[in-house]
Structure 1
């Protein structure tokens, strides 16, 4: 029995490694292909994983200058800097209330947020444009920030509510016995324990905000205020035959997300595992 169990465990272990290797290659090979293409001479046709004869950053300099990525990335960072903290704050407060307090119709409110997950941005982007135009929030970062906060809140509230519901109630009960208020319990007891979940949510929200294309394309017509993905879309349309330069522009847009993930990798994975374990 022990021999069979050990063999089964070993098989499952190596099967898991094989699956992870295949998934990692499925992600790494396209990225490597784009990176190698960005190192080819400008204007040269690129096929497959072609190894460059001479490594050069000329395509990156060309893409940065022509597309104006300094302004595009600045706009993306301004929007993300407004969206991420506000989303974390609002979802933390709502998740705490829905997850730990006995509120009337709390389940109905939760269902309302969950229903928001089913609404695609493509369905509401045109009505949003006309609504924001009436109040003067088109062609502005503030309009995009407000829309993205509303767009990301349903998942964020659901995520934080799930976290707070799985936190031991004995912690909050002990704090209340000691005379702590609801705000004290949240900010001094529960939020320090929620750091992995908040970090994971923050990385996800930043990634979603950074990658927004259609929303920015519709709400911002001013070329000087476009974000990096929207600017990359116009850059592709203008340089559709210069694959190495386009690949360099793609790497520039992808790089902030990759760096952010590498910076918060441990906390990001810890938050995911924490949610899986508690679920």
Structure 2
């Protein structure tokens, strides 16, 4: 298909406009973070005397060193378990297709319609009855369950697109179902798994609601839970809050930049079959 010069120009203009719309909020937060503490800057203006120490103050005020370690523990508890359950369930729904799999898969997909805010109250009482309140398990276990619908949907989409010829060839060579899963399908699923791992990491790292509601100890929350440390009794220090928000976003931005090619490859996987 031949793309005209006009279409290319329109596409580039739209991409530039979208990029500007995405970057403007970050620029506004960055310039605000450099303003003097206690002020309320309006608009995007570069301060005459940038207060770079606001980032140090935000790091110390929220005790982010401790929260960083807590976030790493929560991510290590959520992401590997979610990937394991998702790849096994995706293989079952996408390749094995046992009796009744369509109905069960429909129930799992319906889980995508459940917002965190709509189930936070019953979830609180359930976690309390299990005796897990104010522990990291109160964040880890619900997140694994809440991430399952999307994770299973993501992995099933990959296994459905795997050519049947590969599985048939492995079966003819004597591979059983377990060997077929680990030696054939899982290696082929690495792009989908890596991109899903990136998404789960981003969502877990930025989890705020569950960390605030289910955990009272600030040292056991995620990094996003540190935002509450800047809310005082009589007001909020906006520059320090913006500096803290940038520090919290920094790891997720770095991870996405490093793995963006793999993420894009997984999104395009299955668009071309042959």
Which range, TM-score by smaller chain?
over 0.9
Residue aligning to 1:205: 200
* Partners of 1:197 and 1:222 in 2: CA distance: 35
| 2:66 counterpart (52, 66, 71) | 71
Instruction: Tell me how far 1:47 sits from its aligned partner.
Output: 2.0
Higher share of residues assigned helix: 1
In the TM superposition, residue 38 of structure 1 has moved relative to its aligned partner by: 1.5
CA contact (8 A) 1:67 1:231 kept: yes
1:226 equivalent in structure 2: 221
- Note if 1:111 corresponds to 2:106: yes
Cα 1:161–1:248 shift into 2, 3 Å: same
Distance verdict in 2 for CA 1:242–1:143, change over 3 Å: closer
**Runs of 5+ in structure 2 lacking a partner?**
none
Task: Spell out, residue by residue over 1:138-192, the C-alpha distance to the aligned partner (whole angstroms, 9 max, x if none).
Answer: 1111121110000000010011001100110111111111111222222221222
1:251 and 1:276 map into 2 onto residues whose CA distance is 35
Q: Could you tell me which of 70, 79, 82 is aligned with 2:77?
A: 82
Unaligned runs of 5+ in 1: none
The answer for the alignment partner of 1:44 in structure 2 is 39
Do 1:140 and 1:225's aligned partners in 2 also have CA atoms closer than 8 Å? Answer: yes
Instruction: Give me the whole-angstrom Cα distance separating, in 1, the residues matched to 2:249 and 2:162.
Output: 35
**Aligned Cα root-mean-square deviation (Å):** 1.8
1:214 shift after superposition:
1.4
Q: What's 1:181 paired with?
A: 176
Of 105, 121, 130, which aligns to 1:126?
121
Q: Which moved more, 1:135-144 or 1:45-54?
A: 45-54
After TM superposition, what 4+ stretches of structure 1 lie above 3 angstroms from structure 2? 236-241, 275-278
Is 2:157 aligned against 1:162? yes
Q: How does 1:84-103 map to 2 (within 5 A)?
A: 84-103=79-98
Deviations, residues 99-153 of structure 1 (Å, cap 9, x unaligned): 0113101111110110111111112111111111112111111121110000000
TM-score, normalization by structure 1: 0.92
Trace 1:9-48 onto structure 2 (pairs within 5 A).
9-48=4-43
- TM-score normalised by length of structure 2: 0.93
User: Cα–Cα, structure 1 residues 22 and 66, in superposed 2: closer, same or farther, change >3 Å?
Assistant: same
Distance 2:70 2:242 in 1: 21
